[in-house]
């Protein structure tokens, strides 16, 4: 099976979610199902059906997290330097708007644009990998081609 690259922060966040699902959410939903069953006729019991649906979601998420974490390869970006690669924090200048943006290139399971965590398989990340400070990259986006200048690359 293919390893899933991940930062320590991403691994810890997914592991905490898994522990919460197993330790808090799963027991709570089991109790909710038992309580809904006590109300009688299950065929017309909306609380029961809702609880079973939530249980199905929780169990699916637990399985997904267990698979991801078992295949995770935690990579320490602080040991890297030089060109952009996994774990790099890259400061970019959008050449069209003069807006500066900062992203860390991470694995797909920890990516979150709102948090500045860029999926390593995204078009922008793929265009950045291998480039260095001062390079200009062009990225095909749904809105057209965007140009970014790499202002800095750091590994921490």
pLDDT tens digits, one per residue of 47-101? 888 999 999 999 999 999 999 999 999 999 999 999 999 999 999 999 999 999 9
33 and 50 in a common domain:
yes
Mean pLDDT of 135-146: 91
How many C-alpha atoms does 53 have within 13 Å on its Cβ side?
6
Rounded Cα distance, 54 and 51, in Å: 5
Per-residue pLDDT, 141: 84
Q: Which domain holds residue 37?
A: 4-74
Rounded Cα distance, 100 and 93, in Å: 5
Rounded Cα distance, 106 and 125, in Å: 9
Domain-terminating residue out of 74, 93, 123 = 74
Domain-terminating residue out of 51, 74, 97 = 74
Mean pLDDT of 9-25: 97
Tokens 């992203």 -> residue: 103
Domain-terminating residue out of 74, 104, 121 = 74
15 and 62 in a common domain:
yes
Per-residue pLDDT, 85: 95
Q: What global pTM score does this model have?
A: 0.83
DSSP string, 12-38: HHHHHHHHHIIIIIHHHHHHHHHHHHT
Q: How many domains does the chain have?
A: 2
């Amino acid at each position: 099976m293919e390893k899933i690259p991940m930062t320590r922060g991403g691994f810890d966040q997914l592991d905490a979610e898994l522990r919460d699902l197993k330790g808090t959410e799963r027991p709570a939903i089991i109790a909710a199902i038992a309580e809904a069953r006590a109300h009688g006729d299950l065929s017309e019991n909306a609380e029961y059906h809702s609880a079973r649906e939530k249980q199905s979601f929780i169990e699916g998420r637990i399985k997904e997290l267990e698979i991801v974490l078992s295949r995770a390869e935690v990579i320490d970006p602080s040991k890297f330097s030089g060109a952009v690669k996994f774990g790099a924090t890259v400061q970019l200048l959008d050449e069209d708007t003069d807006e500066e943006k900062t992203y860390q290139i991470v694995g797909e399971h920890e990516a979150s644009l709102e948090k500045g965590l860029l999926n390593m398989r995204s078009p922008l990340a793929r265009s950045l990998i291998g480039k260095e400070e001062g390079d200009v990259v062009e990225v095909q986006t749904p809105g057209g081609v965007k140009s970014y200048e790499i202002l800095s690359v750091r590994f921490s």
